[in-house]
Amino acid sequence: MRSILILNGPNLNLLGTRQPEVYGRETLEMAEAACVAHARAQGLEAVCLQSNHEGVLLDAIHAARGTHSGIILNAGAHTHTSIALMDALFSVEIPAVEVHLSNIHAREEFRHRSFISRAVIGQICGFGTQGYLFAIDALAKHFEREAEPE
């Protein structure tokens, strides 16, 4: 069974209570449970990790090589600042999808720039926690296309 790593960055541990008008009322635990169930329905295993520390996220991306077939990353504020996370994604050569709960392109200008987007197969934003499920579907479809004979 293919495995995907779902990484959540800074402040996402506060989902459900932090600015619910922007990020919704669903907790991270609720979103992770939905991801695990949705992945299972797609024939995938989902492993979830959240950290407020960039280095922990980097280590998780590095460790994903040879363990996970795909990565879903909501890097939070690191999206707009971390060249290191972008480099890590390029380095491990694992298909990744960038997820944001809010539409980062409709928010403050500094949120419009994503360093992560250069290293992923796609970006999903603005759909709340449903975006994670869309990302799982996107990776499942990507894996199907990879498996098709040329």
Q: Where are the domains of the chain?
A: 2-147
Does residue 73 surpass a pLDDT of 80? yes
- Chain segment 82-135, per-residue pLDDT in tens: 999 999 999 999 999 999 998 877 666 866 789 999 999 999 999 999 999 999
The CATH number of domain 2-147 is 3.40.50.9100: yes
Residues tagged in the binding site annotation for substrate: 74, 80, 87, 101-102, 111
Residues tagged in the binding site annotation: 74, 80, 87, 101-102, 111
The pLDDT assigned to 139 comes to: 98
CA 6-93-64 angle, to 5 degrees, is 40
Q: By C-alpha distance, which of 38, 47, 69 is closest to 136?
A: 38
The pLDDT assigned to 108 comes to: 66
Which are the catalytic amino acids?
23, 100
- pTM, two decimals, is 0.92
**How far is it, in rounded angstroms, from Cα 49 to Cα 6?**
6
